[in-house]
Chain A
Amino acid sequence: MDLENQQRIKDLTDKYGNQNLIVVLGGAEAEASGLAAETVSNGDPTFAGPLAGVQLGLKAYHIFEDEIKNDVAPEVYEEHISMMEMVLDVDEVIKEVKSIREQYTR
């Protein structure tokens, strides 16, 4: 995850708290998405950025996950996201992000 973005997320969590702020991911791959989810919850596992060793406890969801998808207006999802369900490995991405979220957040 970009280092500048790590700082922005940190500042936003200070401002809004980790119960009111949700992170939504658009990663192309399971591994990168999982890494982003872990960084915003349990800290940067690569120890590269401002979130190294910092546990924000934020919940991150991928846009493909039902918890997010079901909240979105169907015609909006259809127009902006649906095509990518035929392109990316949806199941793998969802599995990875969900498992990270369940591991590191309450």
Chain B
Amino acid sequence: MLNHREKRRYVAIMYDENSIYRPFQLHEKIGIRFKELFGVFQMQSAMLKLYDSEFGNVMIVGCKLKYLDFFLVSLVLGEPSLIVLSISGTLKRLRKNVSKMGFRNIKNNRS
């Protein structure tokens, strides 16, 4: 049997800094929405995993590449609203991308 590892994608997600939810709660909520929309089997197969972003109001969630569209749709069509900042194949590259963005300057001003 081939030692084949499925490709993953790491998604940097910005959440409202005034949000009542903490990253692990948001991760749970995303998982629930994923399950509601695409089923338990798909959700388990996607292997969603929360990582520490090392940045302020940004969290990182890992997901199997095959289920990335499902994951992003669950993010977009769920509450609270979250913004996808960057997607990468490695955590190291993703953190580098986020650090380049200078996202700390973005305030949650009402437009």
A and B: bona fide binding partners: no
